């Protein structure tokens, strides 16, 4: 599984970034602001953070690459918790695009079982 995570980092690191694609630093900032409800625009940041994670999760589910297999009853707050823990424990990887970090967190936490 670590090889897959490394592959995702390499893949997303060499792809050109779009102007509207957040970096890992930006995703980490959204996470921190969404956790600190006292911050200005925290409701917006919480929604943006949740929406971004849900978008990546849905995108992974829509691929033919079956690396991400979440439980059926997984809730939004659980996805956020997984990604938040991953960001906190991988601070040295925040230079990677946000989508790659979210994908790595989800794939690492909810890998598909080998058939």
| Highest CATH level, class, for 2-13+23-109 | mainly alpha
**Most distant CA pair in the chain, distance:** 48
In 36-97, alpha helices (H): 42-61, 76-89
Q: Residue ranges per domain, the chain?
A: 2-13+23-109
> What are the pLDDT digits (tens) for 15-55?
444 556 789 999 999 898 888 755 555 677 778 889 999 99
**Does residue 14 carry a pLDDT above 50?**
no
Task: Evaluate whether 96 touches 11 at the Cβ level (below 8 Å).
Answer: no
CA angle (106 as vertex; 88, 114 as ends), nearest 5: 135
């Amino acid at each position: 599984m670590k090889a897959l995570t490394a592959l995702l980092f390499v893949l997303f690191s060499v792809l050109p970034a779009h102007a509207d694609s957040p970096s890992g630093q930006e995703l980490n900032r959204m996470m921190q602001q969404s956790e600190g409800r006292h911050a200005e625009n925290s409701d917006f940041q919480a929604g943006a953070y949740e929406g971004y994670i849900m978008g990546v999760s849905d995108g992974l589910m829509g691929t033919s690459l079956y690396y991400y297999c979440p439980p059926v009853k997984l809730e939004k707050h659980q996805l956020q918790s997984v990604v938040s823990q991953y960001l906190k424990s991988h601070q040295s990887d925040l230079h990677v695009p946000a989508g790659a970090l979210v994908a790595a967190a989800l794939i690492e936490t909810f890998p598909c079982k080998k058939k």
